[in-house]
Amino acid sequence: MSYQNILVAVDDSPISYAAVEHTLSLAKLSGAKVTVLSVVAVDPYVGVDFYQVVPAITDHFMQAEAHAKTQLQDISQSFIRDGIEVQTKIHHGPASEGIIFGADEVGADLIIMGSHGRTGVKRLLLGSVARAVLTESHIPVLIVKQ
């Protein structure tokens, strides 16, 4: 199977950068174009007026967005250096929903992402973005483990 359009989901973790390396290798082999996606989590209370009067919350989201843009720019340079067509996207909201939406939006035929490998109580409390994407995605998902 040859992939034409790969979406790689990134965050600030080392496993995310391992997913980027896998994406680079696969894109070189298949000639696929790549979309690098970062999801900036948005608190469910974002519409509440409280957030309009608390500058620290607004600053937090603005800093997260700026950091994501810088990270995406840095990562995209790796693909450009290797002659791979790349675009970047930022989605706001829950991570798994953002990844699924982003893949649909760009017409991806493969999602690559890292898994932190949390187990037990950590997995229960923090959830598993990788598990949610695997469950909800209608296209193949390659999970890179630590």
* pLDDT score for 43: 58
* pLDDT score for 125: 41
Q: Which domains does the chain have, with CATH numbers?
A: 7-142 (3.40.50.620)
Tens-digit pLDDT profile for residues 92-110 = 989 999 999 999 999 999 9
CA atoms within 13 A on the CB side of 119: 3
Instruction: Give dist(CA 95, CA 138) in Å, integer.
Output: 17
- Judge whether residue 124 has pLDDT over 70: no
Q: Please count the other Cβ atoms lying within 10 Å of the Cβ belonging to residue 83.
A: 9
Q: Beta strand pairing status for 86-92 and 110-115?
A: unpaired
* pLDDT score for 64: 85
Tens-digit pLDDT profile for residues 27-50 = 999 999 999 999 998 654 555 455
* pLDDT score for 6: 98
Report the mean per-residue pLDDT for the chain. Answer: 86
69: pLDDT confidence band, cut at 50, 70 and 90? Answer: very high
Q: Please count the other Cβ atoms lying within 10 Å of the Cβ belonging to residue 42.
A: 15
Predicted TM-score of the model (pTM): 0.85
